[in-house]
Structure 1
């Protein structure tokens, strides 16, 4: 991507992106930089498509607009206006349409047929890396504030921290200590639960926290970590992203444990 092209894309997305901190133009720039970093270790990629798609990936996001098809058409018109050929335009639109977490949860990506599937995985991983770690924590609370979500409501665990919320119900976790009544035992239960999360580095966390779930406007921001953000590291496609995610995942787990300890006065 040439500097002139970069500037044109930034000007275009400045009118398309949210002005609040979780989905603003700075998010697009971070994803662009992360995608470039990831692509260095992935062979035979179309880097021009990755550059454009990473900057444009949130145009048409259902959180930011009500008419996705109109947003995709604006991207098509913009790309054609700067002289991009139809094959590249189609590749960029393909990535924008399939990059989101909800797209993967709702659809079987194994069935996606495109010559640009590897480019999709790079942009997708870059976007997801920006949703976890320190930046991810900040973005989650920024979006939660914008959406008037509660921070937390103490409903993740039962009174003794021996069972964990999964969607609308709770299940007893066999790898968490049996319930006790003392504060010390409650904190021990909680710490054991989070230690299991640490030990599951990069693995599917379904057995511990249930399936990934669609964002729910009625849930708290802390619930959002368990519904979505903690699942991200196991959904990454590129090896480079998986390595970067390790530290970010541990940071989130430590933050969540400390948050709940402080919130519940343990």
Structure 2
């Protein structure tokens, strides 16, 4: 199977698998990450097939929707890629990207790095900030039944990985616990440039938000 046919088949698999997913982690999230990953890849040295497959499969079975199991995603992706007779080296690379792409993975000592991970991670982080990041934060907060804002609950700026995974703090706190941190965690020059405007928009949003919730 040629590379384009692999991508087409992967798109179909992801669309079907995520057709009932939470709105912030659905096919359209994947599509945006895939689009941004391809854009960033144009300015980086990389294996484009690995970038595209990892972008498409990075949330195929997100641990937060599978009881915290961080291996279900790599396993699901690996099984699918094997069905297309993708070579073992590519499969392993894609699985490693899935294991290490998330924000919470950053709590651990880095155990894997590649240019392809850097690209897909930046693309995923871009979708967590700016206007779309705000929308996704509130979508997931609503899905989990969290408060939008509670001034009596301060953001936890010194979370452990387990505290982050189990956090139920208001959605506004998530800006300080993750979203506003992402600009400075971007890997690539293109990702950093794209993140800057989105970061500034979030700061403007918070200024407006607090002006509307003054007591």
Whether the 8 Å contact between 2:183 and 2:196 is mirrored in structure 1 is yes
Whether the 8 Å contact between 2:73 and 2:98 is mirrored in structure 1 is no
TM-score of the aligned structures, taking structure 2 as reference length: 0.89
Structure 2 CA distance, aligned partners of 1:127 and 1:7? 20
Unaligned runs of 5+ in 1: 157-164, 168-209
Query: Which residue does the alignment assign to 1:12?
Result: 13
Structure 2 CA distance, aligned partners of 1:60 and 1:54? 13
Structure 2 CA distance, aligned partners of 1:127 and 1:148? 24
How many residues get paired? Answer: 209
Q: 1:255 to 1:215 in 2, by over 3 A?
A: farther
SS of residue paired to 1:134? helix
CA deviation vs aligned residue, 1:118-148 (integer Å, no higher than 9, x gap): 1101000100000000100111111111111
Query: Which residue does the alignment assign to 2:51?
Result: 50
CA deviation vs aligned residue, 1:52-74 (integer Å, no higher than 9, x gap): 00010112321122344344222
Determine whether 1:261 maps to 2:211.
yes
Query: Which residue does the alignment assign to 2:131?
Result: 134
Shift of 1:212: 6.7
Shift of 1:6: 2.7
Q: 1:70 to 1:132 in 2, by over 3 A?
A: closer
Structure 1 CA distance, aligned partners of 2:207 and 2:21? 31
Unaligned runs of 5+ in 2: none
SS of residue paired to 2:202? helix
Query: Which residue does the alignment assign to 2:38?
Result: 36
Whether the 8 Å contact between 1:122 and 1:238 is mirrored in structure 2 is yes
Shift of 1:211: 4.7
Query: Which residue does the alignment assign to 1:152?
Result: 149
Determine whether 1:237 maps to 2:187.
yes
Larger radius of gyration: 1
Structure 1 CA distance, aligned partners of 2:159 and 2:55? 24
Shift of 1:215: 5.2
Query: Which residue does the alignment assign to 1:88?
Result: 90
Structure 1 CA distance, aligned partners of 2:61 and 2:22? 16
Greater shift after overlay, 72-81 or 25-34? Answer: 72-81
